[in-house]
Structure 1
Amino acid sequence: MLHKPKKIFLVDDDPFCLNLMKHVMITNGFADVHTYEGGAACLNFLTDEPDIIFLDQVMGSVSGIETLKAVKRFNPDIYVVFVSGQHEVAVAVESLKYGAFDYIVKDEKLSTKVSSVLTKIKDMGELLAQKPTSVPKRLRSFFGSVSLGLLLVPMMLLSC
């Protein structure tokens, strides 16, 4: 599905959901799938450099939001997708506010929703790959004039 093999972490304290999610990943062609029963366990293995983390909202000692914040501090480029039984919009908004890529509610359509998010991540990766890496000329000229202005202001203050 995605061009290069992706490393996926699945984090959920419910063994049934964890196994279901793992099955969905394997069905979608992902082989490098790691499962963790809590946020702390996931955080201990961030140095393994996952590309995508599917994260439960409500877990034991380390909540999904706390885990998300730590993941984003470690590497803001990791796609984090919340998978939760919480139907409240405020919970979804909070997760997106802290950098989650998407929020999925656990229900009978979970497999379809996960496949859809994986497609969105693939599309996002393709868009980012097309993005030019050089800084646009307008931006360079803006920052050039800003830095020139920063040099002139102290000199003007000294002459007063």
Structure 2
Amino acid sequence: MDDKLKRKIFLVDDDPFSLTMYGAYLDGQGYKNVSGFASGGTVLEKLKEGPDIVLLDHRPGDMPGLEVLDRIKRYNPNIYVVLMSSQEEKKMAEAAVQAGAFDYITKEGAVLPRITEVLNRIFTVQEYLNKKNSQSSRFFFL
């Protein structure tokens, strides 16, 4: 099995239909370690489970997505967070990236292929960083 398919992904959305749709889509893509949460507070309580990636709704019900993003990044800055919104808001996208989000996705149109695109970019960045870190370690021990 491809290592990237083992990554732990958290989905956070207060819309049960969206949550189910994203989970089913990722399952169909081969991702088997996916958990869904209906609120920001719940996902924050579950961070100790060590997610690699969080796909986070802009308004996950009980608190603003930017607040959840900030708390996730304070808990572990190495968690990749992708903020998702039903509206394309340039200011929100900028604020999300400045707060540490890897990307900002609008839920309109082809959101599912966009999720795959962003996940693949995350994996590319992780592979690059792992390769760079292993090269740095090798020089350190020479």
TM-score, structure 2 normalization: 0.90
Q: Give 3-state SS (helix, strand or coil) of 2:3's partner.
A: coil
Q: Which residue pairs with 2:102 in the alignment?
A: 101
SS in 1 for 2:56: strand
Equivalent residue, structure 2, for 1:57: 58
User: Root-mean-square deviation (CA), in Å?
Assistant: 1.8
The ranges of structure 1 where at least 4 consecutive aligned residues each deviate by more than 3 angstroms after the TM superposition are none
Distance in structure 2 (CA, Å) of the matches to 1:46 and 1:2: 24
The secondary structure found in structure 1 opposite 2:116 is helix
Counterpart-to-counterpart distance in 1, 2:41 and 2:17: 19
Q: Kindly provide the amino acid, as one letter, of the partner of residue 43 in structure 1.
A: L
1:2·1:122 contact (CA, 8 Å) conserved in 2? Answer: no
CA contact (8 A) 1:24 1:114 kept: no
> 2: CA distance between counterparts of 1:43 and 1:2?
28
SS at match of 1:133: helix
Q: Is the 8 A contact 2:38 2:61 kept in 1?
A: no
Q: Partner residue of 1:89?
A: 90
1:127 and 1:72 map into 2 onto residues whose CA distance is 21
Partner of 1:47: 48
Distance 1:2 1:125 in 2: 14
Structure 2 equivalent of residue 77 of structure 1? 78
Letter in 1 for 2:128: L
Instruction: Give identity over the alignment, percent.
Output: 39
Matched letter for residue 51 of structure 1: D
- Scaled by the length of structure 1, what TM-score is found? 0.80
Gaps of 5+ in 1: 138-160
Count of aligned residue pairs for this structure pair: 137
Matches within 5 A, 1:1-160: 3-4=3-4, 5-131=6-132, 132-134=135-137
Equivalent-residue separation in structure 2 for 1:117 and 1:125 (angstroms): 12
C-alpha deviation, 1:36, in angstroms:
0.3
C-alpha distance in 2, partners of 1:2/1:108? 28
Larger Rg belongs to: 1
Counterparts of 2:91 and 2:37, CA distance in 1: 26
Query: Residues 56 and 84 of structure 1 are in contact (CA less than 8 Å); yes or no, is this contact kept in structure 2?
Result: yes
Output the amino acid matched with 1:45.
K
Q: Which runs of 5+ in 2 are unaligned?
A: none
